[in-house]
């Protein structure tokens, strides 16, 4: 390690006094002007991680659905998955080290993680369209060069595209070609093959309006347009030429406010969807003839995909284990529909993509989505091998046809991470193959009315949860109080959990009517305020 170069470059990316940040589920996120030292140091860390695992590591500069003034950075592990939890610790240590301790911290990480500094290292870099992203990715490169690593800068890409590139690179091209063209070709080919198998007369042309949150999704969809068949007519809105990123638009805005984004003119019964700022989340919606807005969130996307996959798996007659993984935020009626009507096992895990992804890996086919529209499907190696073998060798036409559809689904789905572009194509293909309208899809089940609230507390650590965050262990008396409140309402449930990023407690309640869901959420928030050290005035109804 060249101490002189480290000192010199580190001084060019000084750490603001008194600033400490935590590497969370989404990496580091804060105001863009506070991130320069962080991204420089993540360049250093990516090289250490690459040397430790002898593979290419990804670095994405983005703050997803946050406002345009913010930015962030996250690392991508060799198979396109999120950074290993033990290295999240190292990321936090390195980010918060004082200038003069930097070399000492790097040496400690090398010792703890058995990093051989003489090994080669390589990093893939990507960034979103924020004004601050280009300069920050340059700081990443400074960090990489100090420790003498190779890098490839992909420039402007969606977050899932970078995850995809890293996976392709480390599987020696087995997962695909590590180029944008490779990504577009793989997805469009699988999509066209699926659509070709559609026997229904449905609409021959499929119109879809897409709100791209004024972000990277618009650029990449435009690049991908020439790869689509003529039948698919996508209309891009909020393409970033006029308005600010994520401002009054995007998947997060639509989900939270339960209303259409600005900048998109909706006509009754038209199919519309929204990406978030870095295109790793998607939600669908439409307005009915009476002008009512209908949101189709991650729960309903998971349900549609599960119906389709379950039918195909039944046709290929293999003993594949399939399951859906949700968090406590999944609507109760989606869980009921999956378990009781579809007869698909459902597992609940803690909030956060890494928990969902990890659980989904336990099955031959693991479908996971968060209600916010982030999700994907994972196929086990064994299942994938068997399906591809059936396509080649199966004599029975129906079985072979079903296996072929599954094979195309495997190629269309980005298994590394939730991907709005890939998920959109999966949904469009299923709707076409099943001859479903967006209204019929929505009518599979009706969401239970629900309400999300948050209560400010002096210290969020007083709340400790268990059972995938559905029950509270501390403070004493709180869970009993919640149980008593829930008993007052029909079809109701409620849970509370500490925020991962700020001193607030998040509250979720659902019940048979909106009025009851609101009342329950309010009563639970009062209980939290009184028993968990609420700050300021008590919550008002």
Give the DSSP letter string of 470-505: TEEEESTTHHHHHHHHHTTSTT-EEEEEE-SSSSEE
Same domain, yes or no, for 118 and 23?
yes
Q: Which of 269, 295, 321 is the last residue of a domain?
A: 295
- Among 22-26, 293-297, 513-517, name the one with the lowest average pLDDT: 22-26
Write the pLDDT tens digit of every residue in 290-302: 999 999 999 999 9
Please report the pLDDT score of residue 204 as a whole number.
56
The pLDDT score that the predictor gives to residue 230 is 79
Over its C-alpha atoms, the chain yields an Rg (Å, rounded) of 24
Asked whether 377 and 415 are in contact (CB, 8 A), the reply is: yes
pLDDT of residue 365 exceeding 70, the answer is: yes
Sequential DSSP letters for 518-531: HHHHHHHHHHHHHH
Cβ distance 348 to 327 under 8 Å?
Answer: yes
Is 497 known as a binding-site position? Answer: yes
Question: Same domain for 302 and 242?
Answer: no
**Are 109 and 142 members of one domain?**
yes
Q: Are residues 20 and 122 in the same domain?
A: yes
278 appears as a binding residue in the annotation = yes
CATH code, domain with 195: 3.40.120
CB count within 10 Å of CB 98 equals: 10
Residues 110-129 have pLDDT tens digits of 999 999 999 999 999 999 99
Sheet containing 322-327, strands listed edge to edge, beginning at the edge strand earlier in sequence: 346-349, 322-327, 365-369, 375-379
Domain of 63, CATH number, reads 3.40.120.10
- Put simply, whether the predicted model's pTM sits higher than 0.75 gets the answer yes
Which residues form the domain of 279? 182-295
Residue 77: pLDDT over 60: yes
538 found inside a domain: no
End position of a domain, from candidates 94, 121, 156 = 156
Q: Is 461 annotated as a binding residue?
A: no
pLDDT confidence of residue 205: 62
Alpha-carbon distance of 497 to 506, in angstroms, equals: 5
Model confidence at 196, in pLDDT bands (50, 70, 90)? confident
Burial zone of 541 (CB within 10 Å; 0-12 exposed, 13-18 middle, 19+ buried): exposed
- The yes-or-no verdict on residue 538 having pLDDT over 80 is yes
pLDDT of residue 198: 75
Helix (H, G, I), strand (E, B) or coil at 183: helix
Band of pLDDT at residue 443, cut at 50, 70 and 90: very high
- Per-residue pLDDT of 444-453, as tens digits, reads 999 999 999 9
Domain-located, residue 381? yes
Q: When comparing pLDDT for 475 and 201, which is higher?
A: 475
274 labelled binding-site residue: no
Interval 194-216 mean pLDDT: 81
Q: What is the pLDDT of residue 189?
A: 96
Angle at 335 between CA 334 and CA 341, to 5 degrees: 85
Q: Are residues 327 and 383 in the same domain?
A: yes
Does 418 carry a binding-site annotation? no
Task: Compute the distance between CA of residue 283 and CA of residue 424 in angstroms, rounded to an integer.
Answer: 9
Query: Which of 295, 310, 339 corresponds to the end of one domain?
Result: 295
pLDDT of 202 reads: 52
Q: Does residue 341 have a pLDDT over 90?
A: yes
Q: pLDDT at position 197, please?
A: 80
Phi first, then psi: give them for residue 364, nearest 5 degrees: -65, -40
489 pLDDT more than 90: yes
Active site residues: 64
Same domain assignment for residues 310 and 284: no
CB 124 within 8 A of CB 151: yes
* 149 shares a domain with 8: yes
Q: Is the pLDDT of residue 46 over 70?
A: yes
Q: Is 18 exposed, middle or buried (0-12, 13-18, 19+ CB in 10 A)?
A: exposed
Average pLDDT, rounded, for the chain:
95
358-396: burial string, b at 16+ Cβ within 10 Å, e else? bbbeebbbbbbbbbbbbbbbbbbeebbebbbebbeebee
> Residue 464: which CATH number?
3.30.310.50
Mean pLDDT over 238-257 rounds to 94
Q: Is 500 annotated as a binding residue?
A: yes
Calculate mean pLDDT across residues 230-245.
Answer: 92
Residues 11, 149, single domain; the answer is yes
How many Cβ atoms from other residues are within 10 Å of residue 141's Cβ? 18
Torsion of CA 508, 513, 514, 518, to 10 degrees: -50
**Is residue 289 included in any domain, yes or no?**
yes
Residue 49 labeled ligand binder: no
Domain check: are 33 and 134 in the same one? yes
Residue 424 within a domain: no
Q: Report whether 70 contacts 63 (CB < 8 A).
A: yes
**Given this model, what pLDDT does residue 25 score?**
79
Question: What percent of the chain is modeled with pLDDT above 70?
Answer: 99
Could you tell me which residue, 39 or 205, shows the higher pLDDT? 39
User: How many folded domains does the chain comprise?
Assistant: 4
Asked if residue 9 and residue 127 are part of one domain, the reply reads yes
Q: What is the rounded distance in angstroms from the CA atom of residue 496 to the CA atom of residue 479?
A: 9
Q: Which of 151-165, 333-347, 492-506 has the lowest mean pLDDT?
A: 492-506
Establish whether 536 is an annotated binding residue. Answer: no
What is the reported pLDDT for 506? Answer: 94
499 is in an annotated binding site: yes
CA-wise closest residue to 442 among 292, 296, 281, 303: 296
Residue 432, pLDDT > 60, answer: yes
Please indicate, yes or no, whether residues 290 and 305 belong to a single structural domain of this protein: no
**Quick check: 351 pLDDT over 80?**
yes
pLDDT band at 139 (very low <50, low <70, confident <90, very high): very high
122 labelled as ligand-binding?
Answer: no
Here the tokens at position 379 are 């196929």
114 is in an annotated binding site: no
Instruction: Say whether both 234 and 324 belong to one domain.
Output: no
């Amino acid at each position: 390690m060249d101490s002189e170069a480290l000192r010199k470059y580190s001084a060019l990316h000084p750490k603001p006094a008194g600033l400490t940040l935590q590497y969370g589920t989404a990496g580091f996120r804060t105001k863009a002007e506070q991130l320069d030292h962080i991204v420089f140091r993540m360049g250093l860390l990516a090289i250490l991680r690459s040397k430790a695992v002898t593979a290419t590591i990804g670095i994405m500069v983005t703050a997803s659905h946050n406002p345009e003034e913010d930015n962030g950075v996250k690392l991508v592990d060799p198979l396109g998955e999120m950074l290993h939890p033990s290295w999240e610790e190292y990321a936090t240590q390195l980010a918060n080290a004082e200038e003069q301790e930097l070399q000492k911290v790097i040496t400690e990480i090398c010792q703890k993680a058995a990093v051989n500094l003489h090994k080669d290292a390589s990093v893939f870099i990507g960034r979103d369209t924020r004004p601050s992203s280009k300069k920050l990715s340059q700081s990443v490169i400074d960090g990489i060069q100090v420790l003498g690593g190779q890098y490839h800068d992909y420039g402007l890409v969606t977050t899932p595209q970078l995850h995809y590139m890293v996976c392709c690179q480390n599987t020696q091209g087995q997962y695909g070609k590590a180029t944008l063209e490779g990504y577009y070709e793989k997805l469009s080919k699988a999509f066209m093959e699926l659509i070709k198998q559609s026997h229904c007369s449905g609409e021959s042309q499929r119109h879809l309006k897409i709100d791209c949150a004024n972000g990277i999704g618009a650029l990449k969809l435009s690049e991908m347009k020439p790869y689509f068949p003529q039948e698919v007519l996508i209309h891009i809105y909020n393409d970033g030429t006029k308005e600010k990123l994520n401002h009054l638009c995007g998947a997060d805005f639509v989900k939270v406010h339960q209303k259409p984004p600005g900048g998109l003119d909706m006509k009754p019964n038209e199919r519309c969807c929204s990406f978030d700022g870095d295109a790793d989340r998607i939600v669908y919606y439409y307005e009915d003839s009476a002008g009512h807005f209908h949101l189709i969130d991650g729960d309903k996307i998971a349900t549609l995909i599960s119906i389709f996959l379950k039918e195909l798996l039944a046709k290929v007659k293999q003993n594949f284990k399939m399951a859906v993984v949700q968090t406590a935020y999944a609507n109760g009626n989606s869980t009921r529909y999956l378990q009781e009507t579809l007869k698909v096992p459902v597992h609940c895990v803690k909030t956060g993509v890494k928990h969902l992804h990890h659980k989904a890996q336990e099955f031959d086919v693991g479908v996971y989505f968060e209600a916010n529209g982030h999700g994907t499907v994972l196929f086990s190696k064994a299942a994938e091998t068997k399906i591809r073998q059936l396509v080649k060798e199966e004599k029975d036409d129906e079985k072979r046809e079903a296996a072929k559809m599954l094979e195309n689904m495997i190629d269309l789905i980005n298994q590394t991470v939730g991907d709005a572009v890939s998920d959109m194509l999966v949904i469009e293909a299923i709707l076409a193959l099943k001859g479903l309208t967006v209204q019929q899809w929505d009518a599979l089940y009706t969401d239970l009315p629900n309400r999300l609230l948050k209560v400010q507390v002096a210290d969020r650590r007083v709340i400790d949860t268990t059972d995938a965050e559905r029950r509270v262990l501390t403070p004493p008396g709180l869970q009993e109080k919640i149980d008593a409140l829930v008993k007052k309402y029909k079809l109701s449930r409620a849970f509370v959990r500490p925020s991962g990023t700020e001193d607030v407690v998040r509250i979720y309640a659902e019940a048979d009517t909106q009025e009851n869901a609101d009342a329950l959420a309010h009563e639970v928030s009062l209980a939290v305020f009184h028993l968990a050290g609420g700050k300021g005035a008590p919550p008002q109804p």
